[in-house]
Structure 1
Amino acid sequence: MPKVSSKHPFRIGKSRTGLGLFATEPIKKGARVVEYTGHKIGNKRAEWIEDNTDNRYVFELNDKWSIDGSPRWNLARYVNHSCRPNVEAYQYAMKIYYRARWNIKPGEEILVSYGQDYFDSFIKPVGCKCNTCTNRRKREREAARKKAARKRAAKKKNGKH
């Protein structure tokens, strides 16, 4: 598997949901994009952080350890959620990496699925803002408008006001 480039193939930039990580050069399918770095902490501490702070950057390694990815030097913290992600997380030797699920073009935002637990707790209550969900809601609204217009037209045609 290709290693992380010493020259990062991405930049931090403005995203639909705040700041995001964007490819600056082509990234091949299967390439390791970025390591999720931070302080290694025990899971009891991780639970306390999640329950008592606004820190949403804790990544569980196993039943004993987690990574607190909140430091700004953790570039992977800028990878936003998508319901159709172009990278996936994988663990190797007590480290977390994101690798490309398919070829990523320059300018594309690097996106990962945060997982069902995170989605249900933090994203679902406010509505997912990823392109997949935003476009689906847009199509659903448009279909509902067209259906309502057809109903109005049918009533008008039948002489019912």
Structure 2
Amino acid sequence: MGLGVFARRFIESRSYFGPYGGDKRNTHLIEEASDYSWQVPDKSGNIMYYIDGGEPNKSNWLRFVNCPNTVSQENLISFVYHGDIFYLAIRNITVGEELLVYYGHNYAKKLGVDTTQFR
């Protein structure tokens, strides 16, 4: 969909990247969020805030990681650690392979991805 991020070197499974860069914003502003946003839940699953990587000077390269079209393409998962978003490699990633993380059902549906195959 977007620019995409491709491995320039071999990435070993369980390598992680982050934190995802951007502005932390209150949930009442979620309607104004860019497509480069992650919602950050608390331990109960309630959304505390979101991180918006829409501003290039406040974000980082992680905003360019695309969403996979199938489960077999997914090679990263997102996770929250101390209130920040990180990506974790769930398998080895070869040189030249695109890094792909599932954004969640709502965003995937906007892209036309069949969400029934994802957890």
TM-score range, shorter chain: 0.7 to 0.9
For the Cα contact (< 8 Å) 1:31–1:100, is it kept in 2?
A: yes
Cα distance in 2 for partners of 1:49, 1:32 equals: 29
* Equivalences for residues 1-161 of structure 1 within 5 A: 17-46=1-30, 48-50=31-33, 55-62=34-41, 63-72=47-56, 73-82=59-68, 83-84=70-71, 85-120=74-109, 122-124=110-112, 128=113
| Off by >6 Å, runs of 4+ in structure 1 | none
Paired-residue identity, %: 31
Deviations 1:49-100 (A, max 9, x none): 14xxxx2112101222110111224211100010231000011001100110
When residues 18 and 96 of structure 1 are mapped into structure 2, their CA distance, relative to the original with a 3 A threshold, is closer
Shift of 1:114: 1.4
Cα distance in 1 for partners of 2:63, 2:5 equals: 9
State the TM-score, normalizing by the size of structure 2: 0.79
Let me know the Cα RMSD of the aligned residues.
Answer: 1.4
RCO greater where, 1 or 2, for CA within 8 Å and sep 6 or more? Answer: 2
Q: Which runs of 5+ in 2 are unaligned?
A: 42-46, 114-119
When residues 18 and 60 of structure 1 are mapped into structure 2, their CA distance, relative to the original with a 3 A threshold, is closer
Q: Which runs of 5+ in 1 are unaligned?
A: 1-16, 129-161
More helix by share: 1
The one-letter code of the counterpart of 2:38 is F
Equivalent pairs, count: 103
